[in-house]
Amino acid sequence: MSATETSPYFLGTGRRKTSTARVRIKDGGTGVFEVNGKSADDYFTHENFSRVAARPLATAEVKDKVDVFVTVDGGGNSGQAGAVSHGIARALLHLNPEYRPVLKKAGLLTRDPREKERKKSGQPGARKRFQFSKR
C-alpha cells in the first residue's frame, strides 16, 4: 500500500515466528520510532532487539528522515523485533522502490519461515520420544 491523499503513511506488515507487526512510515519525519506507543529503545529492553528492529532504516540510510509507528503483538522479544524489521523493510519499498536491491542484499525482505513445530501425540514434545524399555 502506498500513501494516498487521505493518508500520508506508507504501510507494511512483518511477521516472524508468532509475531505480527503493522508498520506505518511517514516520509519527511524527524526520526521518531515508536513501538506500541513507546520509543523503540524503551519497548525492546535489550539493545540488540532495538538494533535488529531498526536495521532496515540504517541499511536504507533513512533513520532521521522518516517517522515510524509500529503496532506489534504475539510472540516474544526476539520474534517481535524480527517482525518489526520485516514490516519496516516492506513499508520502505512502498516509500521508494529503489531501496529494493539494498534491502534484498541485506536479507531484510525475506520472511523467515521457521515456526515452532507442533507436539505430536504419544510423545512428550515435538521430536522427543518417551523412554523405550525393552524389558
pLDDT, position 6? 73
Q: How far apart are CA 39 and CA 5, in angstroms?
A: 28
pLDDT, position 28? 87
66 three-state secondary structure: strand
pLDDT, position 125? 96
Of 21, 40, 14, give the one whose Cα is nearest residue 112: 14
pLDDT, position 5? 63
pLDDT, position 1? 56
Q: Which residues of the chain have pLDDT under 50?
A: none
